[in-house]
Amino acid sequence: MMQVVSKEIPIFAIIINKSLFPEPGFYMITNFIYHFGRYVMLLGQSLGGPRKLNIYFRETIRHMMDIGIGSIIIVALIAFFIGAVTAVQFSYQLGGTLIPRYYIGYIVRDMTIIELAPTITCLVLAGKVGSNIASEIGGMRQKEHIDAMEIMGVNTASFLILPRVIAGLTMIPLLVFMAAIISIFGAFVASVPIGLFSADEFIKGLGMFYDPYNVFMMFVKSVVFAFILITIPAYQGYNVKGGSIELGNASTAAVVFSNVFILLSDYFIALLLTT
C-alpha cells in the first residue's frame, strides 16, 4: 500500500511507504525524487510572466545590491588570501626543483581562473546569500505573508524567486571575475615583496600559455553555481513548515545542499568542458 498524497505532488514524486521498503538507500532515492519533483514544479511556477514589470525591476535591483554589493568585502578578502596562500605553497613545493620559478605565476593564474575563483567564491556565497534567502522566504511563509499574497492573486513563486535568480545570474559572475583578479593580485603582494620570486618572473608566468577558453569555463561555472545557490535555498525557504526550529533547519539544509550540488556540478562541468 502507498500513503495518500496531495494533488500538488507530481506522479513521479510519490513517496512509497517506508515500512514496506525499509532499506535506507531506497527511501533516500524516493525522497530525492519527491523533492526534485517539487523543486522543478516551483521553478516552472517562478517562470510565470510578471504582471507589473516595474515592481519586478525594483525587486531585481534590490537583490542585486544585496547579493553583489553586500558580498564584495567577504569575496575580496577570501580571494586575496587564496591567491596569497597558493603562491606561497607552490613556491615551497617547487623549491629545489628544476622547474623555473616563473611557472608559479602560470600555475596561480590557471588555478585561480579555472577552479579557485568560481568554486570557492560560490561556496562562500552559498553560506552568506543562500542562508539569507532561505531565512527571508521562510520567514514570509511562517508569518503567512506568502498566503496573503496568493489570496490577492499574486504568483508568489515568480515574485519571490525570479528577481533573485536574475540578480544572482547577473552579479555572481561579476563577483567571480573580481575574485580572480584579486586572487592573482594577492599572490603577487604576498610573494614578491618577501623575495620568494621576482616581479619579472611572476609577470612572465602570468603571460605564459594563456588560453581564453579558461575564462569561458570560469563564467560557465559561475552561472551554473549562481543558479544552484539561488534556487535551492529559495525552495527550502518557500516550503518551510513549522516554527523557528524548522526555519533554522531549512537554512542549514539550504547551505548544505547548495554546497553539495555546486561541487557535483563542478565535477560534471569539468568533464564536459575539458574532455
What does the alpha-carbon distance between residue 35 and residue 124 come to, in Å, rounded to a whole number?
24
| Residue closest to 183 by CA, chosen among 120, 262, 267, 122 | 120
For 75-116, write each residue's pLDDT tens digit. Answer: 999 999 999 998 888 888 877 677 777 788 888 898 999 999
For 200-259, write each residue's pLDDT tens digit. Answer: 888 888 888 888 999 999 999 999 999 999 999 999 999 888 788 888 889 999 999 999
170 vs 14: which has the higher pLDDT: 170
Residue 2 pLDDT: 41
Give helix 103-111 / helix 72-93 axis angle, nearest 10°: 140
Angle at 67 between CA 63 and CA 70, to 5 degrees: 110
Check pLDDT > 80 for residue 49.
Answer: no
Please state the separation of Cα 181 from the chain's center in Å.
19
Residue 3 pLDDT: 45
What does the alpha-carbon distance between residue 146 and residue 142 come to, in Å, rounded to a whole number?
9
Is the backbone of residue 125 left (phi > 0), alpha (psi -120 to 50) or beta?
A: alpha
Nine cell digits for residue 96? 629545489
- What value does the mean pLDDT take over residues 258-266? 95
Nine cell digits for residue 189? 603582494
